[in-house]
Amino acid sequence: MQLEEQSASLKNIGRLLVKCSDKPGIVAAVSTFLLNHQANIVESSQYSTDPEGGMFYLRIEFHAENLLQKKQQLESDFQKVADEHELEYRFSYAVELKRTAIFVSKEPYCLMELLWEWQNGDLNTDIVVVISNHEDARSMVEALGIPFHYIPANKDIRQEVEQQQIKLMEEYEVDVLVLARYMQILTPDFVSHFPNQIINIHHSFLPAFIGAKPYERAFGRGVKLIGATSHYVTNDLDEGPIIEQDIERVDHRDDTVQLKKIGRTIERRVLARAVKWHIEDRIIVENNKTIVFH
């Protein structure tokens, strides 16, 4: 399915994410509001940390005719409900595709998975640019009509490189940055420009084996399960809010090479799911945790 066809199918779909202190009547108030605005709820998920004084989280996906013409009035009217129930909330509209940048280094397998999902119509985003500190992925990216920018990077020129990257993010009006095996550490200045917008894939089941060479260390410990973790990037290395994780069973016959092969398969699917959930507004970040409505 082409991007234009995807957009047409989503033009009347809206999403509403809500966060507040739990108390009776929230779901009823939000549902009644949508009913009064001729909106039909097509998906609803909720979660309470504790019905007695806990936090409440809600994601509703709804359909309404001529939604984009109504959205300004819809959001204005909802403020009354939000004020009455002390809600933090965010509306989004499925047709307004998030603009995604992908950062990659030499290993292209996570990039290729994202490009395949995008081509197949299962990743409803607009991939507007790919940035790499190597030239290896240029041909596969440009063959799809996606701009590719090669920016050499190392720790000695990191500040200069990141200024170039930030400028490109602004030029392409990027909403989400995906680190698809981008093997450079981002500085606090760069991360601060994109809070809860940078999604990373880490080749271990965090918090185990944080940092470099996790497969070698996992092999040395004789682990029986290996995994991968996708998380938002913060200034605490590999400790940002976790979005998705998965595992595979291994045994003593699997050497480091085999562990890496198995790990790459896990990484691909974990990152693709995390990106998909982000662009579909299925994630609410709460401190250093996430609530993910699958």
Closest C-alpha among 38, 13, 14, 41 to residue 27: 41
Can 77 be counted among the known catalytic residues? no
Kindly report the backbone phi and psi dihedral angles of residue 277, in degrees, each rounded to the nearest multiple of 5, phi listed first. Answer: -65, -35
Structure tokens at 96: 């307004």
Q: Report whether the peptide linkage leading into residue 24 is cis, meaning its omega lies within 30 degrees of zero.
A: no
Residue at 11: amino acid letter: K
Query: What's the CA gap between 1 and 226, in Å, rounded?
Result: 35
Query: Which ranges in the chain belong to alpha helices (H)?
Result: 3-10, 26-36, 67-85, 109-119, 138-142, 158-171, 188-192, 214-221, 256-279
Query: What's the CA gap between 80 and 118, in Å, rounded?
Result: 38
Q: Report whether the peptide linkage leading into residue 207 is cis, meaning its omega lies within 30 degrees of zero.
A: yes
What SS3 state is found at 11?
coil
Query: What's the CA gap between 141 and 34, in Å, rounded?
Result: 42
Q: Are 230 and 270 in contact (CB under 8 A)?
A: yes
The label of the residue with tokens 């562990």 reads 259
Work out whether strand 13-21 and strand 88-93 pair parallel, antiparallel, or are unpaired. antiparallel
Closest C-alpha among 101, 233, 111 to residue 167: 101
Closest C-alpha among 15, 41, 14 to residue 28: 41
> Given 238, 246, 255, 281, which residue is catalytic?
238
Q: Hey, which residues are catalytic here? A: 238
